[in-house]
Amino acid sequence: MSDAIFELAKLRAAFVAAEARADVAESELAQARAAVSCSEAMIQELKLEIARLRRDKYGISSERRARLIDQLELQLDELEAAATEDALAAEQSTDKAATTVRAFTRRPPVRKPFPEHLPRERVMIEAPDACSCCGSDRIVKMGEDVAETLEVIPRQWKVIQTVREKFTCRSCEKISQPPAPFHAIPRGWAGPSLIAMLVFEKYGQHQPLNRQAERFAREGVDLSLSTLADLVGHAAVALQPIHALIENHVRAAGRLHGDDTTVPLLARGGAKKARLWTYVRDDQPWNGGAPPAAVFRFSRGRAATNPNQHLAGWQGVLQADAYGGYNDLYRADRDAGRVTSALCWAHARRKFFELADIAGNVRKGKPAHQISPVALEAVKRIDAIFDIERDINGLDAKARLAARQNLSLPLVDNLHDWLKEERAKLSKHNKVAKAINYMFEKEGRWRAFTAFLDDGRICLTNNAAERALRGVAMGRKSWLFVGSERGGHRAAAMYTLIVTAKMNDIDPQAWLADVLARLPDMPVSRVHELLPWNWKTLSLAEAA
């Protein structure tokens, strides 16, 4: 018996030692990753400085030199933000690991003192009435600590001075002072409204940090690009709990919209085509009650492994285009269960519309009569189905299903038979035949197009996902490219927050500012109160 107890104690000791070694290894890995990220950011900063010095000495001989500096600034932006994330991760891992691990200390970004011309607003923290040690009321002020936080309001900059008065007790000489408040970021030199504006301008208004820095300088506040990138990295870490809750909310849906678009990724030798994916939960068309939300993901390519990874473990109805990368999700032997495919009628209609667009032919200089009568008839028949959908939009799933069975089903059956007849009359190389084949090309394609007839929750189109990606398409010409793969993942996280806020009809910048201000003091059990739909309700209640 004693031998068994001895062996058990020995195993417990070995297990504790193994856990300690794992914590140390994890901490050392985080320290190494942070050191590498900071080194990369420093190298990029030096490259940028060299390019600027060469421009100042030799002048700009071509537009290419200016574009090179812009590229270096964008790369520095992403590397500085990534270095901040890794440094924060290293600090957290050091706290968990044994004290034998030397903590990683990152070179702090160079920041100039706040301009003297900015107005100062003193926020006084309530002083104690009695000594915290002995309870005596014989306390006198002996000094104060002032922490300056740079904050911004529309078209006005100011520095908020948070004052913590010090008092000493004449009875016991105990020094009393209110505790320092929590800040959105460590050391709290930037206010939540400034950070929210920076993030929203970059990802919501498509203004790169170098352009924002130039605008700030014109307004009399000189903040370097690395300083602004440091704030973006801090914001990405601080807002991660909100992002995780939104992703869980989206994955809890039984029906999702999915789509992707291209984003240029800066790489050696030029830009490469990367992808930004979105998965949207929108139950408003069938009055489902759940608030809308969108999740974005970044990938270097468009391989089928990406949607498989994004939707791993999820089962339901996926509304998307006919991209073959989703096919693995539709397999009957899928581990998590088969995903039901629902294809977009807007995509199918678009192919016919391009062949029947009279105004488009006129703009291209073609005679207006050179349109396909079959394509024109197909557009008319599909539009009749869309008219029914407009009338039932917003009804509950049962009412929508009943209306579709009574009104849409005969139109869809007639369209199916008519398309089959017309395709038999056309050459396989005919453009109209190709448009028809899009709906019948593979086995199960027509079944996916008609899935809406059997489920009142399914929409006729995938427009919800396309609307979510519209901002990305508009911003590509402004920010030119994503500076790195880490920057792509960070952009996807920020798009998740901003687009979800817009879908819930709230101002993304105001929401982000309030979230960043509340998060430091918010218990983990109450973080869900800051989700856009809960925050909107809370704001309305407070306003009332």
Contact 260, 275 (CB under 8 A): yes
Q: What is the mean pLDDT of residues 221-236?
A: 90
Contact 168, 126 (CB under 8 A): no
C-alpha span between 468 and 166 (Å, rounded)? 52
pLDDT at 106: 54
Three-class secondary structure of residue 122 per DSSP: strand
Contact 284, 394 (CB under 8 A): yes
User: What is the token pair recorded at 227?
Assistant: 């300083």
pLDDT at 257: 96
Amino acid identity of 57? K
C-alpha span between 498 and 465 (Å, rounded)? 14
User: 133-137, 269-273, 298-302, 422-426 — which is least confidently predicted?
Assistant: 269-273
pTM flag (> 0.85): no
Instruction: Tell me how far the alpha carbon of residue 392 is from its chain's centroid.
Output: 32
- Please, which pLDDT band fits residue 34 given cuts at 50, 70 and 90? confident
Q: What torsion, rounded to 10 degrees, do the Cα atoms 260, 78, 495, 315 define? A: 50
On the question of pLDDT at 154 being above 80, the answer is no
- Please, which pLDDT band fits residue 103 given cuts at 50, 70 and 90? low
C-alpha span between 477 and 485 (Å, rounded)? 19
What mean pLDDT, rounded, does the chain reach?
84
pLDDT at 345: 94
Contact 431, 355 (CB under 8 A): yes
Three-class secondary structure of residue 1 per DSSP: coil
pLDDT at 25: 76
Segments of 268-353 assigned E as strands: 270-281, 293-299, 317-320, 340-343
C-alpha span between 159 and 80 (Å, rounded)? 25
- Please, which pLDDT band fits residue 110 given cuts at 50, 70 and 90? low
pLDDT in tens, 194-227: 999 999 999 998 888 888 999 999 988 999 888 8
On the question of pLDDT at 37 being above 50, the answer is yes
- Please, which pLDDT band fits residue 63 given cuts at 50, 70 and 90? very low
User: What is the token pair recorded at 91?
Assistant: 């600090």
pLDDT at 181: 82
Alpha helices by DSSP H, 219-357: 225-238, 240-251, 305-310, 345-355
pLDDT at 474: 76
pLDDT at 427: 84
